[in-house]
Structure 1
Amino acid sequence: MTSHQRWTLRTQHTSYTVRLSPDGPWAELDAWGPHGVETGPSALDWSHRTHFITPADAAPAEYLPHGIRPFTGADLVASRPGHERGTWWTFEEADPDEHSLKLTFTDDLLGLRTTLCYATVPGTDVLHRWTELTCTGDEELRLERLDSAAVNVPVTAGARLTYLSGQWSQEFQRTQLHLTRGTFTIGSTQGVPGHAYAPWLAVQDAAAPPDAPAPTYGVALEWPGNWHITTEAEPGAAVRVRAGRVPHEGAVHLAPGDTLTTPRLACAFSADGLDGLSRVWHHYERHLAGERLHRTRKVLYNSWEATGFDVDAADQLQLAKTAADLGVELFVVDDGWFTGRADDTGGLGDWYPDPEAFPQGFDRFVADVRALGLDFGLWVEPEAVSPGSRLHAEHPDWIYRIDGRPARLVRNQLLLDLGRTDVQEFVIATLDRLLTDHDIGYLKWDMNRPPTERGRPDAGPADHLDLDAGHVAGYLRVLDHLRHAHPAVTIEGCAGGGGRIDHATLARTDVVWPSDNTAPLDRLRIQYGFLHAHAPHTMSSWVTDAPGVFDPRPRSLAFRFVTALCGVLGVGADLRAWTGEQRTEAAEWIARYKRVRDVVHHGEVRLLGTPDDATCAVQYDAEDGRRVVVAAFSTGRLDGAPLVPGRAVRLRLRGLDPAATYRDTATATTYSGAHLLHYGLPCAWSADHDAELVVLTRQ
């Protein structure tokens, strides 16, 4: 349905309707929800009577500048040099089609054309929104705020916000709060999305039952740099979320004739609560993967926790042989393989294999690993440089720094200015050389420090730097080059754990590393939050011997394997220290994982309970409905005593056909779908049995 005043965009299961406001020159949200929701009076309608605010401040506006919206949150703040801030635009034209919409507004006095852009993502329930800003005058414009979009959510009792918070080694903690009035902001100024918050937010009516099917709205910002997501509970009980990037310099200058395109904001809706919204995001990230989705993600072994910086070909090969015997398919050498890297004080930037570590040659070592039937991978940190490296000595101007100020070391290293074209060319040439000269099938890209003294000394005041956007553009350019020039190479994204995970990165990598914390109960909680926002085929997870950091209670090797196989399974423990029994058990778990990883990576995911419950699980339903995989965990008492003596804990499954029959081949037990939905799957926990992987086959 389209007209000159109202347009509806349809995704797979949802509708998004925009209208031109009768009160002024702006677009408003009319309806957002399941198909058909646009038929009837808008739930976002308002009285049109205002006191001490303007109609624009009260309206459910899609995007408004300071000037028209002077009191509540404006999405754009622009000015000409020497003039007051403010934009007063008029509607110019609409450009709709079946899958997209563009609404253009102009301010001739300021010299600005603003185009609000909408596009549905085929086969998903995600709508992209972004804004194009063009300087149409003779003077440059100063943009102090340049958000991508704003979304409005109808609520009755305030909003329940769900977001992912944390810190290094404790990322993706699912956190909730009620917002009835005021402003709540999350974001990062660390040059990456950061460990403290993910650029993701879900909004529900606070009156809806927690963790139950209820209308749920979500946004995620596609930007691996500085960002914010701000939620404002505005007058009249309206809740409005706006999001965008945050310029490092505080403003962006737009020259006459130039157009700036903001990052895309992905908007999603599900009527099935947070669990349903997670599946919308999972489908979307499978769309982002394209043909790479169907590439088998191999079981890897990473040698970091076994050897650290002490990389020696003989020791690495011993680990590789042991890993191959377990059924591992990929061997990755982490930090410490290159010259000058005896510890974290040197070597970064000089990316050549250390001849002392590989006395018979690096290529001979790689060939020996591959002769074991293993693929080979390597860790790199392309944006980092050590002060004592040859690269730093030859190109000190490539480093972020401010003249007259000390260069601060973080993790004993500095950061390259990846916004520079010459730095990008160096990184591209370096990675091309490594991937062309050596038989490398897997690349782990890490980043272990944020930019601190973020300046470019050889730039003048007239250059009007936008360093954050420049770094992001350089990072994405290098990843795009790798995807084009080395399409067979699997790429893992990492930034000291989960510091740089967003849709721009996920569209260009195969897996990401959610956290450096691999302790069992800590990791379970990290992965629980991660799966709310991201798909399991992107989630790299290792089995290690790491003790708990935040929850030190011990758990079995089985618990560690079941946790890790909820995504892309890896092993990172020192296998030389494992007993024969542990290796045998590990080989059995790896074999079990291989039999179900297609369901884990491509199936419908349901989160059963939370890590705060004594029992929780992740359920994966095969695309064809023939198999159901349940990864179940005991997170409660360690003495093995059941909650009710003599009775197993029951996990109620979801989404099954109640009339169908499901068989657990491991125990030869048959259940009806109705039984599993009503009573649940029995889990008989004990002190020696704290996790299980159950595979049900539909008969």
Structure 2
Amino acid sequence: MTPYPRWTLRTEHTGYTVRLSPDGPWAELDAWGPHGAEHGPSALDWSHRTHFITPADAAPAEYLPYGIRPFTGAELIAAGPDGERGSWWEFDGAQETGTGLRLAFTDGLLGLRTVLCYETVPGTDIVLRWTEFTASRELRLERLDSAAVTVPVTAGARLTYLTGQWSQEFQRTQLHLTRGTFTMGSIQGVPGHAYAPWLAVQDTTGEDAPAYGVALEWSGNWHITAEAEPGGAVRVRAGRVPHEGAVRLAPGERLTTPRLACAFSADGLDGLSRVWHRYERRLSGERLHRPRKVLYNSWEATGFGVEAAGQLELARAAAGIGAELFVVDDGWFTGRADDTGGLGDWHPDPAAFPDGFDRFVADVRALGLDFGLWVEPEAVSPGSRLHTEHPDWVYRVDGRPARLVRHQLLLDLGRTDVQDFVIATLDRLLDTYAIDYLKWDMNRPPTERGRPSAGPADLDAEHVAGYLRVLDHLRAAHPGVTVEGCAGGGGRVEHATIARTDVVWPSDNTAPLDRLAIQHGFLHAHAPHVMSSWVTDAPGVFDPRPRSLAFRFVNAMCGVLGIGADLRAWTPAQRAEAAGWIARYKEVRDVVHLGEARLLGTPADPTCGVQYDADGRTVVAALSTGRLDGAPLVPGRPARLRLRALDPAARYRDTASGTTYSGAHLLHYGLPFAWSADHDADLVVLTRE
């Protein structure tokens, strides 16, 4: 029997084993991998000989305060009223449940109790981790990470993460880290466009090396930091970043950090993506099985020029090609002729809807379409009635100028009265009009973030709590309404939002090849059923090569299909082609949204795609990104996409062409595609015979 307590949390295919360290009062990771990996000497074991650092600095510790771990990075930095920084704790017991574990540590001198919390998610390979703090006197928490995980590597680590900017989010980026520190994050009040709060770690032995992943469930400021440590290990720390630089903890108060989801797959990055997909299907709960309807959004057709007659013309065209939902974007409310006014006064513009907004909604619904509306409830225009009546509701710093971003200010959603206003506004709209779909946008990060005369406050956490309170209210009070999450594109995509919305908007960039790269990165971390994607006429921003309408549709069908083009400018032939693609999408969307997804190649390859498998059907979205092979003028052969996870002995029939393939053929040679200038994408549906 081991002299030190040891606990193993089991997920569907993996185990996560923690033990109390023989070297001090802390918990450390003993094993993390497939079932049974914990039986044998730990791959994270270290020599126990340290020079110029302490044993705690070299240990694969799960969580340690500055004080015990002074040199190589601590998850907790706490200070008492005297300003002395550091905590030295003692183990105070373990509590096991059927799916979880709680390890408590106390520092009697400082007056702080810290509990490391673990919870497995049934039906997934996810271990959730977070930390709870309870103070017996006033404390200042200068660092309060959620968790740390240690990954063994042999010759350095390959880090995979998602980077970008507005209109270029979710770019899959890789870095080899042999020694030193890598960090990423956001202090924009949302996860931001530059980095997603998601990281994968592998050994550098190859793309298919076992993959470890973390994702932070937090809608505000955050960081993820990876440190390549002496002895061959990478330690990843993650948590929120307080706007004020520290959080005050009052006597008797409890503070809980955001949850860090930890994932493992023996099948490399592609396998890890399916772990995240399965987890997000779990987050969607019963809403997962509600069909994501084909939407039409009028923004790219009309911009702010919203008026009933033009919108109804678009709605009729959308219904004619098979759309199921019509969404009116920005510009529908009073004072919104452009982006300089109107925000906060959420009433339909009577000049735009002379017969009444309810009549307009009824006319749209009479076409057989559901109805949706765009809102940006966190923003306010300086000239609006709301700002005139409640200037104190915006973030501001006394004596400092208010900086306009996109001609607007940001409401302090951490205030209960502001939350109540937003809830009442959304309730009024949803109770007054037959609205089936709500697109929540956020286009303005906080800049002068203050709340005068309020005393010490944790503004970032309070805004996140207010945002989630409103979303929770929408889910409870309006369960039939589909909610889309958006923040200038993909600026607020993380698990707290995904758990409370039905779809998210990865980017405002809908150009075909640009969007392909965005979606390729997005699907590494997030599931197809939450990925809203539109077909538009937008030209490329970063890759301007033209692509066919078929390419745009097949690309958009990899998630939740929408259309945003000006259908009035499309020819009858284009509308007919669109109707055909929409009909095909409706036949396979259950496979796309509920099946197992596999990424086939990358956008850097001449041919790439996504494979979806469910209930004996395999759907392959194939896209040509590169040059043609010259056929038939010069000898050439079809491009091929090798499929995965099929039964080699089974036979698979292409439902469109009638061609039958063996599983072995599809695994070894792949599906053939003869690309041409007019044929640069295809959707293949295979049925197992």
Q: How high is the TM-score relative to the length of structure 2?
A: 0.99
For the 8 Å contact 1:102–1:115, the answer to whether it is kept is yes
> 3-state DSSP class of the match of 1:102?
strand
Structure 1 residue runs of 4 or more that deviate by more than 4 Å after TM superposition: 1-4, 638-644
Q: Which residue of 2 aligns with 1:492?
A: 484
For the 8 Å contact 1:96–1:102, the answer to whether it is kept is yes
Aligned-residue offset at 1:209: 1.4
Q: Which residue of 1 aligns with 2:12?
A: 12
Structure 1 residues 131-530: aligned runs within 5 Å: 131-136=131-136, 139-206=137-204, 208-210=205-207, 212=208, 214-459=209-454, 463-530=455-522
Aligned-residue offset at 1:644: 8.2
Q: Which runs of 5+ in 2 are unaligned?
A: none
For the 8 Å contact 1:186–1:228, the answer to whether it is kept is yes
Q: What CA distance in whole angstroms lies between the structure 2 residues aligned with 1:481 and 1:309? A: 29
For the 8 Å contact 1:349–1:384, the answer to whether it is kept is yes
> 3-state DSSP class of the match of 1:146?
strand
Q: What CA distance in whole angstroms lies between the structure 2 residues aligned with 1:366 and 1:98? A: 50
Count of equivalent residues: 689
The one of 519, 538, 548 aligned to 1:556: 548
Code of the residue aligned with 1:23 in structure 2: it is D
For the 8 Å contact 1:26–1:64, the answer to whether it is kept is yes
Q: What CA distance in whole angstroms lies between the structure 1 residues aligned with 2:336 and 2:628? A: 42
Q: What CA distance in whole angstroms lies between the structure 2 residues aligned with 1:642 and 1:75? A: 62
Aligned-residue offset at 1:4: 6.4
For the 8 Å contact 1:492–1:513, the answer to whether it is kept is yes
The one of 628, 633, 657 aligned to 2:618: 628
Code of the residue aligned with 1:158 in structure 2: it is G
For the 8 Å contact 1:132–1:261, the answer to whether it is kept is yes
Matched, 1:697 2:682: no
Aligned-residue offset at 1:105: 0.3
Aligned-residue offset at 1:411: 0.5
For the 8 Å contact 2:529–2:593, the answer to whether it is kept is yes
Aligned-residue offset at 1:637: 1.4
Q: What CA distance in whole angstroms lies between the structure 1 residues aligned with 2:588 and 2:65? A: 51
Q: What CA distance in whole angstroms lies between the structure 2 residues aligned with 1:535 and 1:3? A: 43
For the 8 Å contact 1:166–1:197, the answer to whether it is kept is yes
Code of the residue aligned with 2:498 in structure 1: it is L
Deviations 1:506-536 (A, max 9, x none): 0000000000000000000000000000000
Compared CA separation, residues 3 and 675, structure 1 to 2 (3 A): farther
Q: How high is the TM-score relative to the length of structure 1?
A: 0.98
Q: What CA distance in whole angstroms lies between the structure 1 residues aligned with 2:569 and 2:579? A: 15
> 3-state DSSP class of the match of 2:231?
helix
RMSD: 1.2
For the 8 Å contact 1:643–1:649, the answer to whether it is kept is no
Matched, 1:94 2:89: no
Aligned-residue offset at 1:643: 12
For the 8 Å contact 1:2–1:8, the answer to whether it is kept is no
For the 8 Å contact 1:92–1:106, the answer to whether it is kept is yes
For the 8 Å contact 2:629–2:637, the answer to whether it is kept is no
For the 8 Å contact 1:640–1:687, the answer to whether it is kept is no
Aligned-residue offset at 1:662: 0.2
Q: What CA distance in whole angstroms lies between the structure 2 residues aligned with 1:523 and 1:179? A: 29
Q: What CA distance in whole angstroms lies between the structure 2 residues aligned with 1:646 and 1:4? A: 65
The one of 573, 580, 590 aligned to 1:598: 590
Code of the residue aligned with 1:544 in structure 2: it is T
Q: What CA distance in whole angstroms lies between the structure 2 residues aligned with 1:683 and 1:251? A: 57
Matched, 1:677 2:679: no
Q: Which residue of 2 aligns with 1:656?
A: 646
For the 8 Å contact 2:490–2:505, the answer to whether it is kept is yes
Aligned-residue offset at 1:305: 0.3
For the 8 Å contact 2:631–2:637, the answer to whether it is kept is no
Q: Which residue of 2 aligns with 1:29?
A: 29
Q: What CA distance in whole angstroms lies between the structure 1 residues aligned with 2:627 and 2:655? A: 29
Code of the residue aligned with 1:143 in structure 2: it is L
Q: What CA distance in whole angstroms lies between the structure 1 residues aligned with 2:380 and 2:460? A: 18
For the 8 Å contact 1:185–1:230, the answer to whether it is kept is yes
Q: What CA distance in whole angstroms lies between the structure 2 residues aligned with 1:379 and 1:393? A: 23
Q: Percent identity between the aligned chains?
A: 83
Q: What CA distance in whole angstroms lies between the structure 1 residues aligned with 2:547 and 2:632? A: 17
Q: What CA distance in whole angstroms lies between the structure 1 residues aligned with 2:17 and 2:396? A: 47
Q: What CA distance in whole angstroms lies between the structure 2 residues aligned with 1:511 and 1:665? A: 29
Q: What CA distance in whole angstroms lies between the structure 1 residues aligned with 2:626 and 2:327? A: 35
Code of the residue aligned with 1:605 in structure 2: it is A
Aligned-residue offset at 1:574: 0.2
Matched, 1:613 2:610: no
For the 8 Å contact 2:243–2:459, the answer to whether it is kept is yes
Aligned-residue offset at 1:339: 0.1
Aligned-residue offset at 1:97: 2.4
> 3-state DSSP class of the match of 1:666?
coil
Q: What CA distance in whole angstroms lies between the structure 2 residues aligned with 1:65 and 1:181? A: 23
Compared CA separation, residues 3 and 569, structure 1 to 2 (3 A): farther
Matched, 1:575 2:600: no
> 3-state DSSP class of the match of 1:148?
strand
For the 8 Å contact 1:169–1:515, the answer to whether it is kept is yes
> 3-state DSSP class of the match of 1:128?
strand
